[in-house]
Amino acid sequence: MRAAGSARGARVSLRVVNKVIERLRRALPGKAVLSSAEELKPYECDALTLYRQTPLAVALPANEAEVVAVLRTCKEAGVPVIARGAGTGLSGGATPRADAVLMSLARLNRIIGIDPLARTARVQPGVRNLAISEAAAPHGLYYAPDPSSQIACTIGGNVAENSGGVHCLKYGLTVHNLLALRVVTIEGEVLEIGSAAPDSPGYDLLALLTGSEGLLGVVTEVTVRLIPKPRCARVVLAAFDDLVKAGAAVADIIAAGIIPAGLEMMDRPTIAAVEPFVHAGYPLDAEAILLCESDGAPEEVEEEILRIEAVMRDAGATECRISRDESERLRFWAGRKAAFPAMGALSPDYYCMDGSIPRKRLAAVLQAIRQMETRYGLRCTNVFHAGDGNLHPLILFDCNIPDEVARAEAFGSEILELCVREGGSITGEHGVGIEKINQMCVQFGARELEAFHAVKRAFDEHGLLNPGKAVPTLHRCAELGRLHVRGGKVPHPELPRF
């Protein structure tokens, strides 16, 4: 396996390790510090399993005071800290380092309160995404962002990654559904950011902290906005004999002034893979299908569904089915939801990418990916948030075949770089982590990267919080030959770069 470069961390002497563990043991109650090889094993990676590293130790604080104690201890010892939620992240945001303490926030798992009148939920970071909606359900409310890992992923991780989901075209990303955070800085100071009021004095730190991948602070409490559950939802399943037509249909829906609750695309290989699993009745001869959901009041959904169907037909859909009842709606979605597990039957390993592009470029990019399949000798299936222009190409490979990992990674990099060229981004919702750190050099220029480092230093002067993730050093970009230099001028040319 390729080393994760600077994200892997330096070798630390046994003396330092023992000292840090001893100090953590003093700061936390019994059994809250793990240090034996056996105990550390489950923490060696997050959902980006390509990268594994045993952490120096794992700390399991159970409340904010203990989080403060861990951060102060690490600060004093000069040891890096990596915060981790459920470890479902796909970009390696919580990949450990040999020289860093991994702080799991799983024990901060209390729902502090649901206020149905204010329509807010106050929760600790280790609360699972779906658990918030379950707790709000008796009041007819729910928490809208629904990443596909919502059964397992925690709200703290959602904040760190600014997670999206199937419904974010209409209901927004995590950043649009947060009201307030309690954040502990590396100094051990608690910041109260945002509030249940519509705005707060000063800079919008809530926006800055959301999606900051654990580089600026550690979240200990989250207040989210809850919204009323729509009374009704129905879905149109539209089949196309051509990817280009399906891509165009997505743009047509938006151009018609429709903001669907969800608009997802599955390509032919995906359809073929999932149908035996879920028996959703997907047309197996289609090149692509679109699932387009409408939600709201029943009469409103009725009206919108008919408009969606008309647009799909005009765009050349070979077939349109409208879910007749809730069980059929769930069946239509079942294949989409089972897509990733179904790939397991197709291939021993797969690599899930995450890039975003302008919707109008969907067809062109999908065709380019087809050509890359031949070039890299690997298959790639596509099932993704078409309405947001958020691609999730799944590159299929086999870890046991020499060089397939390297080819899969190169394939993935090329897709991400294509997304940037098409005016999009290297990550729509999974974050940069260590996975896409090299592509950051393609998306941003040297000045912007320097600004990110300066923002990081404004919160964490010595770079102890999740170092080596999300923002590459200019040195790294230069080594890769990817340093974006505008007008021939490198910022601060006096600084050594190599």
Beta sheet of 101-104, edge-to-edge order: 33-34, 57-59, 101-104, 81-84
We find the least distance from the C-beta atom of residue 347 to other proteins, in angstroms, to be 26
We find the least distance from the C-beta atom of residue 144 to other proteins, in angstroms, to be 12
We find the least distance from the C-beta atom of residue 336 to other proteins, in angstroms, to be 17
We find the least distance from the C-beta atom of residue 326 to other proteins, in angstroms, to be 17
Would you say 1 or 454 has its CB closer to other proteins? 454
We find the least distance from the C-beta atom of residue 176 to other proteins, in angstroms, to be 5
Rounded to whole angstroms, what are the CA distances from 43 to 98, 102, 353? 12, 8, 23
Are the beta carbons of 396 and 343 closer than 8 angstroms?
A: yes
Residue reference for tokens 């995906």:
270
Strand 57-59 versus strand 101-104 pairing type:
parallel
Would you say 233 or 237 has its CB closer to other proteins? 233
We find the least distance from the C-beta atom of residue 56 to other proteins, in angstroms, to be 26
Rounded to whole angstroms, what are the CA distances from 297 to 137, 171, 233, 305, 307? 18, 16, 8, 12, 15
Are the beta carbons of 394 and 382 closer than 8 angstroms?
A: yes
Would you say 38 or 199 has its CB closer to other proteins? 199
Which residues, in sequence order, are bridge partners of residue 192?
182
Helical packing angle, 243-255 and 362-376, nearest 10°:
150
We find the least distance from the C-beta atom of residue 444 to other proteins, in angstroms, to be 6
Would you say 10 or 118 has its CB closer to other proteins? 118
Residues 449, 451: Cα–Cα separation, whole Å:
5
Which residues, in sequence order, are bridge partners of residue 381?
394
Residues 235, 18: Cα–Cα separation, whole Å:
57
Residues 477, 498: Cα–Cα separation, whole Å:
10
CB-based burial, 346-356: b 16+ in 10 Å, e otherwise: bbebbbbbbbb
We find the least distance from the C-beta atom of residue 388 to other proteins, in angstroms, to be 5
Residues 484, 12: Cα–Cα separation, whole Å:
34
Would you say 19 or 486 has its CB closer to other proteins? 486
Residues 314, 72: Cα–Cα separation, whole Å:
62
Element (H, E) at 17: helix 14-27
Answer positive or negative: Cα dihedral of 208, 211, 216, 217.
positive
We find the least distance from the C-beta atom of residue 199 to other proteins, in angstroms, to be 5
Would you say 249 or 395 has its CB closer to other proteins? 249
Torsion of CA 389, 285, 346, 149, to 10 degrees: 40
Q: Which of 351, 420, 341 is nearest to 379 (CA)?
A: 351
Would you say 319 or 414 has its CB closer to other proteins? 414
Would you say 32 or 446 has its CB closer to other proteins? 446
Would you say 83 or 440 has its CB closer to other proteins? 440
Would you say 199 or 494 has its CB closer to other proteins? 199
Residues 274, 226: Cα–Cα separation, whole Å:
33
Would you say 73 or 177 has its CB closer to other proteins? 177
For the chain, the maximum distance between any two Cα atoms, rounded to a whole number of angstroms, is 70
First to last CA, the chain: 25
We find the least distance from the C-beta atom of residue 344 to other proteins, in angstroms, to be 26
We find the least distance from the C-beta atom of residue 302 to other proteins, in angstroms, to be 7
